[in-house]
Amino acid sequence: MDRRLLLLSLAVGLVFAVLGGNPAVASGSCNAVNFLEGTCDAVVSGGGVDLSGESSSGGGSDAGAGVPDPGAGLECEGLAGCGVDRPLDFVVIAPPNVTLDDIVRFVPESGAAGMEPSGWIVVGLPTNFFADASRHVQAGIVLEQPAEVRFTPTSFTWDYGDGTSQTVAAPGDTWANLGLAEFSATEAGHTFVDAGPFTIRLVVAYSAEYRFGAGPFLPLAGSVPASTLELVALAGDAQTVLVGGQCSDSRRGPGC
């Protein structure tokens, strides 16, 4: 095919492509040949596109000024489709690497320890032990930033003072709250076999979480022990004897 005819075909296809396939009406002298040679000064109308380098409203002198900018008026600078190639300027800040060493100034509440019977032990019968510890939050400074640390009790280690100990997951409770009769076996309870004074120690282990500002709490590896709680009790034998009065008169007596 002759090169001139080929260019002519391409020009016609370009006009139809720009105008969406609709025929255009040309004013002035303009054909496909002088259009390709750059000597065409006519305005093609009917498709809404100015091919002369001037907009149909009379403003602008740059070629293609009549074609609307798809990103004009949009607040999306730097995003694809807005006609801006400059990338957004931003910096990704990694969260600080916090460990248990960074919260050493945060000391969890020690809580409290209790036992039944209170202050004394019957040799050969179960003694009930329980703790009062719950989740709590403390505010302070972590890595020179205001932060909060949340402590949650996870385990309770009882040292009964007679050479035995055990770790349980629950804090335990009184026999009454557990719906049990006195001297019933409980999870943290213990039966002493010897008489004498005993010092019972409790250590509560807490898991720790932290957060900066209003962000979510993030867990820390490991656990934090609270201060040791102590109970002192005297263990002895109990005998059943006849006494005057009833338990309604003195409910603090053995078996009442």
Q: Per CATH, which fold does 100-236 belong to?
A: Immunoglobulin-like (2.60.40)
Which pLDDT band, with edges at 50, 70 and 90, does 21 fall under?
A: very low
SS3 state at 34: helix
| Closest alpha carbon to 114 in 193, 171, 192 | 171
Q: Structural domain boundaries of the chain?
A: 1-65, 100-236
- pLDDT tens column, 59-117: 444 444 555 555 455 555 544 555 545 555 555 455 568 888 888 888 898 889 999 99
- Residue 2 carries which DSSP code? -
Which residues have a Cβ under 8 Å from the Cβ of 128 and sit 6 or more positions away? Answer: 115, 116, 172, 174, 175, 184, 186, 188, 189
User: Higher model confidence: residue 231 or residue 239?
Assistant: 231
The per-residue pLDDT for 256 is 58
Which residues have a Cβ under 8 Å from the Cβ of 51 and sit 6 or more positions away? Answer: 15, 18, 35, 40, 43, 44
Percent of the chain with pLDDT over 90: 43
Q: What is the CB neighbour count within 10 angstroms for residue 44?
A: 21
Highest mean pLDDT: which range of 153-167, 217-231, 233-247: 153-167
Distance CA(8)–CA(33), nearest Å, equals 6
The per-residue pLDDT for 85 is 54
The per-residue pLDDT for 97 is 80
| Closest alpha carbon to 151 in 101, 102, 103 | 103
The per-residue pLDDT for 248 is 63
Which pLDDT band, with edges at 50, 70 and 90, does 18 fall under?
A: very low
CA 48, 54, 60, 65 dihedral sign is: positive
Distance CA(156)–CA(172), nearest Å, equals 9
Listed range (34-43, 140-149, 163-172, 200-209) with the worst mean pLDDT: 34-43
Backbone torsions φ then ψ of 112, nearest 5 degrees? -150, 160
